[in-house]
Structure 1
Amino acid sequence: MEFPKETPYLRRVRIFKQTLMFLASSWGYLSGGMSLTWPNVLASDILVDNSTLFGTQLSLSDSQLDMVGSMMFVGSLPGYVAAGWLVRAIGRRRSMMLAAVPGLAGSLSIALALNTEMILVGRFLEGTSYGMMGVAVRPYIVEVADTDIRGSAVVVANILLQIGSISAVSLGIPFKWYQVSFFSCAVHAMYGLLLVPLLPESPTFLAVTNKDEKAKGVLHRLRGTSVDVEGVLSDLKKQNESVGNAASWRVLVRPAVLRQELILFGLFLVSNFSGVEVIKANTSRILQSAGVSLDMEVSTIMVAGVLFCGNFSMMLLLDRAGRRRCLMLSLSLLVVGYCILGAFVFLSTRPTDSLAAPELTVAVEANASVAYYTGAVSTQRTTWDWVPLASLMLAAYGQALGSGPIPWILSSEYFPTSIRSQAMGLCTLIGSLQSFAALQLFSPMQTVLTPAGLYWFYACVGAVGLPYAFLFVRETKGKSVG
Structure 2
Amino acid sequence: MDLQEERRRLLDPEDREEDPTGLMSEQEAYMSKVKNKNLYLASFVSVLGPMSFGFVLGYSSPAIPELSSIDDPRLRLDDVQASWFGSIVTVGAALGGLLGGWLVEKIGRKLSLMFCSLPFVFGFTIIIAAQNVWMLHVGRVLTGVASGITSLVVPLYISEMAHERVRGLLGSCVQLMVVLGIMGVYLAGLFVDWHWLAICSSVPPTLLVLLMVFMPETPRFLLSQGKRREAEEALRFLRGPEAPVEWECARIEEACDEQGSSFQMSDLKDPGVYKPLMIAISLMIFQQMTGINAIMFYAENIFEQAHFKESDLASVIVGLIQVVFTAVAALIMDKAGRKVLLIISGVAMAISTTAFGVYFYLMSEKTEAQGDLSWLALASTAVFIAGFALGWGPIPWLIMSEVFPVKVRGFASAVCVLTNWSMAFIVTKTFQDMMNLLTSAGTFWLFASFCTANIVFTAVFVPETKGKTLEQIEATFRGTSGP
**TM-score when scaled to structure 1?**
0.86
The question of whether the paired residues in 2 share the 8 Å contact of 1:67 and 1:440 is answered with no
1:418 aligns with 2:433: no
Match of 2:190 in 1: 173
1:306 aligns with 2:324: no
2-side partners of 1:284 and 1:45: how far apart? 19
Question: 1:59, CA displacement in angstroms?
Answer: 3.4
1:24 aligns with 2:39: no
Question: 1:208, CA displacement in angstroms?
Answer: 1.4
2-side partners of 1:431 and 1:250: how far apart? 24
1-side partners of 2:164 and 2:197: how far apart? 38
1:479 aligns with 2:468: yes
1-side partners of 2:271 and 2:454: how far apart? 24
Match of 1:59 in 2: 77
CA deviation profile, 1:182-215 (whole Å, cap 9, x unmatched) = 21122222212x2211211111111111110111
- Code of the residue aligned with 1:58 in structure 2: it is R
Question: 1:178, CA displacement in angstroms?
Answer: 3.7
Gaps of 5+ in 1: 361-381
Match of 1:450 in 2: 439
Structure having the higher helix fraction is: 2
1:50 aligns with 2:55: no
2-side partners of 1:334 and 1:114: how far apart? 43
Match of 1:107 in 2: 124
The question of whether the paired residues in 2 share the 8 Å contact of 1:292 and 1:388 is answered with no
Superposed counterparts of 1:8-23, under 5 Å: 14-23=35-44
Question: 1:321, CA displacement in angstroms?
Answer: 1.3
> In structure 2, do the counterparts of structure 1 residues 298 and 386 end up closer, same or farther at CA, with 3 Å as the change threshold?
farther
Match of 2:23 in 1: none
Question: 1:428, CA displacement in angstroms?
Answer: 1.4
The question of whether the paired residues in 2 share the 8 Å contact of 1:314 and 1:402 is answered with yes
Most deviating of 16-25 and 239-248: 239-248
> In structure 2, do the counterparts of structure 1 residues 112 and 350 end up closer, same or farther at CA, with 3 Å as the change threshold?
farther
Q: SS at 1:245's partner residue?
A: coil
Q: CA RMSD in A?
A: 2.6
> In structure 2, do the counterparts of structure 1 residues 463 and 65 end up closer, same or farther at CA, with 3 Å as the change threshold?
farther
Aligned length: 449
Most deviating of 471-480 and 68-77: 68-77
Question: 1:463, CA displacement in angstroms?
Answer: 0.9
2-side partners of 1:270 and 1:321: how far apart? 21
2-side partners of 1:256 and 1:123: how far apart? 37
> In structure 2, do the counterparts of structure 1 residues 274 and 12 end up closer, same or farther at CA, with 3 Å as the change threshold?
farther
Among 301, 321, 345, which residue is 2:336 paired with?
Answer: 321
2-side partners of 1:349 and 1:306: how far apart? 29
1:399 aligns with 2:420: no
Match of 2:214 in 1: 198
1:37 aligns with 2:58: yes
Match of 2:476 in 1: none
The question of whether the paired residues in 2 share the 8 Å contact of 1:140 and 1:202 is answered with yes
Most deviating of 137-146 and 34-43: 34-43
> In structure 2, do the counterparts of structure 1 residues 240 and 13 end up closer, same or farther at CA, with 3 Å as the change threshold?
closer
2-side partners of 1:404 and 1:348: how far apart? 29
The question of whether the paired residues in 2 share the 8 Å contact of 1:14 and 1:223 is answered with yes
> In structure 2, do the counterparts of structure 1 residues 456 and 45 end up closer, same or farther at CA, with 3 Å as the change threshold?
farther
The question of whether the paired residues in 2 share the 8 Å contact of 1:274 and 1:459 is answered with yes
1-side partners of 2:85 and 2:294: how far apart? 12
1-side partners of 2:102 and 2:405: how far apart? 15
The question of whether the paired residues in 1 share the 8 Å contact of 2:34 and 2:240 is answered with no
1-side partners of 2:301 and 2:88: how far apart? 19
Identity of aligned residues (%): 26
Most deviating of 126-135 and 113-122: 113-122
Question: 1:271, CA displacement in angstroms?
Answer: 0.7
1:152 aligns with 2:173: no
**TM-score when scaled to structure 2?**
0.86
Among 206, 212, 236, which residue is 2:228 paired with?
Answer: 212
Q: SS at 1:349's partner residue?
A: helix
Question: 1:255, CA displacement in angstroms?
Answer: 4.2
